[in-house]
Amino acid sequence: MKWSILIPMKEGKTASLIDYLEIIVKWRKFIIRNVIIVTAAAIIISLLLTQLFTATATILPPNPEQGAMLGILSMNVPSGLAGLARMGGVLPGLTTPSDLFAAIMKSDRIKGEIVKKFDLRNEFKTKTMIDAFEALDDITNIEITPEGIISVSVTYKDKYLATDIANSYIEELDKFNTETAMTVGKRYRIFIEQRLRENMDTLAQAEDDLKIFQEKYRTVALDVEIESAIKTIAGLKSQIILLEVKKGALSSSSQFANPYLHDINKELRELKKQLSKIEFGEKGKSEDEFGAGFSVPFSQLPEVSQKYVKLLRNVKVQEAIYELLTQQYEQAKIMELKDTPTVQILDRAAPPEKRSFPRRTRIVIVAFAFSLFFSVIAVFFIRYYKEKVRQDPTIVQKLNYFRSSIQKDISSIIKLFRRK
């Protein structure tokens, strides 16, 4: 409906701004009364609304040195975090390590500790733990900034309780990380320790075999390229063994299909492919050129040289494995005994000085603006009804019919209740 039709004008004449202002001035008391009533109601409602306070704590993203710990933590995450299977970064699909911390804080294990600590079932007046969890979720907001900083905000009517809950999320996260790292670190240390003992026996046997061969055939001269290849193979095999050790530790410790295994299997396939190229050559290439750039595969060396290379390679491989396993063993022992904080707190939550809800000024301004707008619109429609609609006998007849029908229905309902 165009605005011009709200004001009936003589034929050939259109309504001007002055005509509209004239109507507003004429109905100014109606408009002012409505605005005052609605605005006063908004003021009263805003005063009656329960005040809420928001306490926020923030922590820094895990530093690169914690990458190993996060990989180990992924072996023992609560079963409620099965969604972590889609993560990457440290876990496949994970944008940043901060996502793992946020997921842990949203777990039932952390929420359960907080509910018990502050007796939130009585505070929220809930009958079950699940209801308490839902109520806690309603007042909690955990977010991650593009920089990886994690913020925990709790909005509640008691600003001191909101502050304590926000800080407890971070405290429980640190407690969980420490306990898990120490527990899993012990299992990992035992696993590495067993593999290290096996490696020491294998290394001793390899050194004995090489010594016997050297005493029998004296010194066998090797090409510089072959020696380089042996070092390359030793490095590759040691990495393969280390990954297999990690894979075994993850497989034995995980309670569900650990997504970290996906990266390990992928890396293992690549390393084994490179190793095969050096040892046996690469299909589709000429005899004087293969895979890693070495001119002669080990499989084509003279028999004596081939035996010597295999023995020497076994020694070098076991030495490299021993070195890597020793490093991992020391890291596992440190993790087992580690009791230092795993979370770097940027800002602890403090009791907020101002309420976060209701925002009374905004409520009053919005109520004032809407009441003014709709009152003016109502004035124009009332004017249109009086000047145009009521002059049409057909419309007046229909309106009277509607009114009389409604009055009859109301009368029938009243009589029905009086009989009862």
Phi and psi (nearest 5°) for 58? -130, 145
The runs of H, that is alpha helices, within 106-158 are 108-118, 120-123, 129-139
Asked if the model's pLDDT at residue 287 lies above 50, the reply is no
- The average confidence (pLDDT) of the chain is 76
Query: In which band, very low, low, confident or very high, does the pLDDT at 384 lie, cut at 50, 70 and 90?
Result: confident
Domain map (residue ranges) of the chain: 3-49+365-407, 53-181, 198-333
DSSP secondary-structure letter at 75? T
Query: In which band, very low, low, confident or very high, does the pLDDT at 114 lie, cut at 50, 70 and 90?
Result: very high
pLDDT at residue 246, rounded to an integer = 72
- Of the two residues 294 and 331, the one the predictor is more confident about is 331
pLDDT at residue 302, rounded to an integer = 58
pLDDT at residue 291, rounded to an integer = 39
Report percent pLDDT > 90 for the chain. 20
Average the pLDDT over each of 112-126, 197-211, 309-323, 330-344 and give the range with the smallest value. 330-344
Structure tokens at 295: 């001119």
Structure tokens at 278: 């050096």
* pLDDT, tens only, 23-35: 888 888 888 998 9
* pLDDT, tens only, 146-194: 888 999 999 999 999 999 999 999 999 988 887 776 666 677 777 788 8
The enclosing H or E element of 59 equals: strand 53-59
Asked if the model's pLDDT at residue 322 lies above 70, the reply is yes
Please state, in angstroms and as integers, the Cα–Cα distance from residue 335 to each residue in 95, 316, 378, following that order: 25, 29, 73
Asked if the model's pLDDT at residue 235 lies above 80, the reply is no
CA–CA separation, 390 and 111 (whole Å): 65
CA–CA separation, 137 and 105 (whole Å): 11
Asked if the model's pLDDT at residue 367 lies above 80, the reply is yes
pLDDT at residue 76, rounded to an integer = 44
Asked if the model's pLDDT at residue 1 lies above 50, the reply is no
Asked if the model's pLDDT at residue 2 lies above 60, the reply is no
Asked if the model's pLDDT at residue 215 lies above 70, the reply is yes
pLDDT at residue 409, rounded to an integer = 84
Q: How many residues in total does the chain contain?
A: 420
What does CATH list as the number for 53-181? 3.30.1890.10
Asked if 289 contacts 295 with a C-beta cutoff of 8 angstroms, the reply is yes
Helix axes 108-118, 129-139, angle to 10 degrees: 90
- Of the two residues 360 and 293, the one the predictor is more confident about is 360
Asked if the model's pLDDT at residue 78 lies above 60, the reply is no
DSSP secondary-structure letter at 222? -
CA–CA separation, 270 and 99 (whole Å): 28
CA–CA separation, 408 and 393 (whole Å): 22
DSSP secondary-structure letter at 176? H
**pTM for this structure?**
0.53
Asked if the model's pLDDT at residue 145 lies above 90, the reply is no
